[in-house]
Chain A
């Protein structure tokens, strides 16, 4: 399977703990996005990378959140001092910025539950 992969698929943590999620984009895709989705809602944009550069961050991304894409391939999203309001599905998507429509393809998501 050459789609976007995310790890772990599920994470249960206690309030105040730090968590880190990983996303592996589709090979050759130079753009990578993180979204957050709460129950019954559509995904909301968090941040975006072009290669290794983080080009945009949403106001949803508080200073407890940090994302990296060190070599322009996989990306990590870390949440420090988790809060119950952080419970959500965290989705990663990737795309290729070329001559096409730059279509974003999503991974299966990481479901975070903060107790």
Chain B
């Protein structure tokens, strides 16, 4: 069977390693998903997005995977750097809706 990644509120990663951040979403009608990075005292910063008709999308050092069967989203960061330390939020948007619904957030700490 396929395992579903657990959402962890915190993640500690060694510099240079790959990070995987998991997110479970709730709305089966959601058709658009987005990952944001938020540093302390700042607003959320767009990282990458994916539509529901895709399973995978790659950006610079980041990859988003979408599993609609189990309503799971993940963000992979390659070669994690100290500047990647932040809180990461996944967000979903329902079909025909405009507002985003955010997950709980994962705090990523990069160890030197």
Mark A residues whose CB is within 8 Å of B: 4, 6, 31, 33, 35, 40-45, 48, 55-56, 58, 91, 101-109, 111
Instruction: Give me 15 other A-B pairs in contact (C-beta within 8 A), A4-B43, A103-B46, A104-B34 excluded.
Output: A6-B43, A35-B100, A41-B104, A41-B105, A42-B102, A42-B103, A43-B44, A45-B101, A55-B98, A91-B43, A102-B98, A106-B36, A106-B44, A107-B43, A109-B42
- Chain A residue numbers with a CB within 8 Å of B101 are 45
B100 and A109 contact, CB distance less than 8 A:
no
Answer yes or no: B91 CB below 8 A from chain A CBs.
Answer: yes
Q: A101-B32, A101-B49 are in contact. Are A56 and B42 (CB under 8 A)?
A: no
In the complex, which range does the number of interface residues on chain B fall in? 20 to 34
Which 7 residue pairs are nearest across A and B when measured between Cβ atoms?
A42-B102, A106-B43, A45-B99, A106-B44, A108-B43, A109-B43, A42-B89
Q: Give how many A-B residue pairs fall within 8 Å (CB-CB).
A: 55
Interface residues of B in 29-84 (CB under 8 A from A): 32, 34, 36, 41-46, 49, 51
- Chain A residue numbers with a CB within 8 Å of B105 are 40-42
- Chain B residue numbers with a CB within 8 Å of A43 are 44, 89, 100, 102
- Residue of A whose beta carbon sits closest to that of B51: A101
A45 and B43 contact, CB distance less than 8 A:
no
Which of B51, B89, B98 makes the CB contact (< 8 A) with A48? B98
> In the complex, A43→B49 CA distance in Å?
17
B42 and A108 contact, CB distance less than 8 A:
yes
B99 and A42 contact, CB distance less than 8 A:
no
- Residue of B whose beta carbon sits closest to that of A110: B43
- Chain A residue numbers with a CB within 8 Å of B36 are 106
- Chain B residue numbers with a CB within 8 Å of A104 are 34, 46, 100
Sampled A-B contacts (28; CB under 8 Å): A33-B98, A33-B100, A35-B100, A41-B104, A41-B105, A42-B91, A42-B104, A43-B89, A43-B100, A44-B102, A45-B100, A48-B99, A55-B98, A91-B44, A101-B32, A101-B51, A103-B34, A103-B46, A103-B49, A104-B100, A106-B36, A106-B43, A106-B44, A106-B46, A108-B42, A108-B43, A109-B42, A109-B43
